[in-house]
Structures are given as C-alpha cells and as structure tokens.
Amino acid sequence: MQAMGQRILTLLAKELLTLLKDPKSRFVVLATPVIQLAVFGYAASFDLNEVPFAVLNEDRGEASRELVAQFEGSAQFERVRTLHHTDQIAPLIDAGEVLLVLRLPPDFSRDLARGEPASAQVILDGRNSNTALIAFNYARRIVAAYNDRRLVEAGRAGGPPAELVTRAWFNPNLESQWFFVPGIVGLLVTVTTILVTALSVAREREEGTFDQLLVTPLRPVEILIGKALPGFLVGLLAASVIAAIAVAWFQVPLRGSLAVFYLGTVLYLLSAVGVGLMISALAVTQQQGLLGAFLFLVPAVILSGFATPIANMPGWVQAITYLNPLRYFMVVLRGIFLEGRGLDLAPLQFLPMVAIGLVSLTVAGWLFRRRLY
C-alpha cells in the first residue's frame, strides 16, 4: 500500500511539472480564470446605467418640465437628444442612438392642473426585450415618484389606498453581480478542471510518452488516480482564488460556511474530473480532447441555470438538466454565498453530485482500462 502511494505521488509530481513547465499551460491554469472572472463579473450584468434617452416635449408647461427634470436627475438615464416633432423618433431608435423616447403631449400640464389624468408616452427600443423591460421599469418608478410628490403638494395626502413597499431578500439592492459572480466560480472551476483532465492523456499520446508510462511499475488504477489528481487540485485552487476575488473585489457576501463551500466544491470536482477523464480516455490527440471538452462545456453551462432560469426551460429540457452536475453546484454556490445555507443542501444537491461523480469516475476507469488493453 505504501509503495502504491509512493508511485501515485511520483506520477502526480510528474503531471504537475509537465503542466506548469509549459508557458501556455501555466497561462491557461493561472491567468485565464482571473481574466474570465473580470470579463464576466463586469460584462454579465442585467443592470442598466446612463440609459440614453431623448425627449419630445410638446407641452412646454411647468409640470412637463418637472417630469423631464426627474428623468435627467436620475442615475439610470442620460439625456442625449431633444426632439421637436414626431418624425424624428423612428430614425433615432432605428439607428440605436437612444433606448427610450419620452413623449409628453401638448395638454399634459393642462390636464394635471384640472385634476384629470395626463398621459405620457414612453417609446422603447424593443430589439432587446430584457433591456427594454428594465428601462421601462426605471421609467415607471420615476413617474410613480413624480405622481406621489404632486399628490402631496396638492394636499391629497395618502395617494392610493394601498402602498406598495418592495423588499428584496438576499440581495437588498438587486445587484446583478451578486447573482452572476457566484455562478462564475462554478463556471471557471468547470472550464479549468475539464481542460486539464481532458488533455492529460491525449497530450502524452500525441507526444509518444504514454507508451513509456505503460511499461513502468504503475498499475492502471494508479495511472488513473495520478491523472485525476492534478485536475482535482487545480480545480480546488481555482475555486479558492476565484471565491476570494469575488468576496474581496466584487464585494459579494459569503454568508454560509466556508467548510460547506469546500465540501460542495470537492464533491463537484469528483464529477468534473470523471467527465474530463472520460474525454481524455477517448481522445487520441489534444485537438480531439479540446473539442470533446467544449462539446461538454457548452451545454453544461447553458443547462446549469447560470444565466437562464431552469424553470423557464421546456419540461423535457428541465429533465435533462438533472444529469448535469453543474446544475447542482450552481445551487450550492448561490445558496452558500447569498442565502447562508449549510448542510441542509445535502439531500437535494450534494447527493446527486456524489452519484454523478461515482458514475463518471467508474465509466472513466472502464474506458481507461479498455484503451490500455
């Protein structure tokens, strides 16, 4: 047993040296996760700031100027154009120069002075429906605050009989980075681990050193473990570094237990390493290993709930997601970071990851032995 452990440690040292002595491999392992975290952390956002908008004010009264001022004073909007007739609206939106046009009719101030309803038209660029909906919600909040202020000034305190008060749990300010960054931890750990393990055997086959490894005293199971450990350790290191950056740089709270975070990461890495070894056992060249890795990564990320809620997917697609280990890891990460959850995640999230990990490692071992003999 001691000799077996010594042989595995020797192979592990050899694998790590092979991985780290190559400048390209070092860049993929060390620099790529940090670069991707920065890109996703800033680019993957549902928040809108300084939305370009134009104003067509046909009223010119005090009430309309006050509403326009509310839009201009908002942090979410930036006035870029002033229009003088309706024919200017369509070309402006078609060219993508503005996302929203605020149009106030000629009788806007007069209707308000009479105590009658006054209509204000908001014209949106609907090509990106999600962005348009967010901009519309910003505009609706501004108009609602404007109405409340006018009611108080007119002495009709109280406004509508029911007051709507919004409170967001787990993310009080509704910052999209708090949603995306924990998911990025799982995304980058997956990419790093799968690539390292998927290319390990294929690289040696391509370089002709795998046959030399077979004539050593190492048994197949020892070679398999030696090939799995580097990806496992690299994935664990990537998770630690990315989680630290998420907390220290992006100010995402880590409300749950750090021990549970590492437990979930270890269980997930069993699945990721197993999938990577399956790809590595089937690939003859590094190109095949790389293609196999991305063949798994793209659907795994899409079906994980990273950006698109699984509940919004068709029923048959939701059924497929149960085979995706990244689905469970996403729930674990967001639960630990934002909700402060702990071992209560075990029945529905940890156990499926363990099952998928055992199956993937078993299949990888069978494929590995089959390719050896």
pLDDT at 159: 42
pLDDT in tens, 49-103: 778 899 988 887 888 888 888 888 888 888 999 988 888 888 888 777 888 888 8
Nearest to 33 by CA among 179, 146, 262, 193: 193
Q: Give the pLDDT of residue 157.
A: 47
Which position has the higher pLDDT, 279 or 9? 279
User: Can you give the length of the chain in residues?
Assistant: 373
Q: pLDDT, tens digit, for every residue of 110-164?
A: 877 777 777 888 888 766 556 777 888 888 888 888 877 777 666 554 443 223 3
Structure tokens at 301: 């990320």
Amino acid 46: pLDDT: 58
State the pLDDT at residue 305: 82
Q: What pTM did the predictor assign?
A: 0.67
Give the contacts of 202 (CB within 8 A, at least 6 positions apart): 280, 283, 284, 285, 286, 288, 289
Residue 177 corresponds to which amino acid? Q
Could you write out the DSSP letters of every residue in 40-64?
A: HHHHS-----SEEEEEEES--SHHH
The mean pLDDT of 256-280, rounded to a whole number, is: 91
337 or 150: which carries more pLDDT confidence?
337
Task: Between 282 and 170, name the one with better pLDDT.
Answer: 282
Strands of the sheet containing 51-57, edge to edge, are: 77-83, 51-57, 100-104, 121-124
Residue 153 burial (10 A CB sphere; 0-12, 13-18, 19+):
exposed
pLDDT of residue 269: 93
pLDDT at 327 (0 to 100): 93
The average confidence (pLDDT) of the chain is: 79
For residue 280, pLDDT beyond 60: yes
What residue ranges of the chain are covered by domains with CATH 3.40.1710.10?
A: 51-153
Higher pLDDT, 13 or 373: 13
Using a 10 angstrom Cβ sphere, with 0-12 exposed, 13-18 middle and 19 or more buried, the burial of residue 38 is middle
188-197 residue pLDDT tens: 899 888 888 8
Are the C-beta atoms of 292 and 279 separated by less than 8 Å? yes
pLDDT in tens, 169-192: 677 776 778 888 888 899 989 988
- What share of the chain has pLDDT > 70, as a percent? 78
Q: What amino acid is encoded at 151 in this protein?
A: L
pLDDT at 321 over 80: yes
Q: Do 333 and 187 contact (CB within 8 A), yes or no?
A: no
Highest average pLDDT, of 135-139, 279-283, 297-301, 321-325, comes from 321-325
pLDDT confidence of residue 351: 92
Amino acid at 61: G
pLDDT exceeds 50 at position 165:
no
Burial of 319 (0-12, 13-18, 19+ CB in 10 A): exposed
Copy the structure tokens of residue 371: 């390719």
* Res 350: pLDDT: 92
> What are the residues whose beta carbons fall under 8 Å from the beta carbon of 364, sequence distance 6 or more?
224, 274, 275, 277, 278, 281
Distances from the Cα of 329 to the Cα of 185, 239, 255, 298, 302, angstroms: 10, 12, 16, 16, 14
- For domain 51-153, say whether CATH 3.30.70.1150 is its number: no
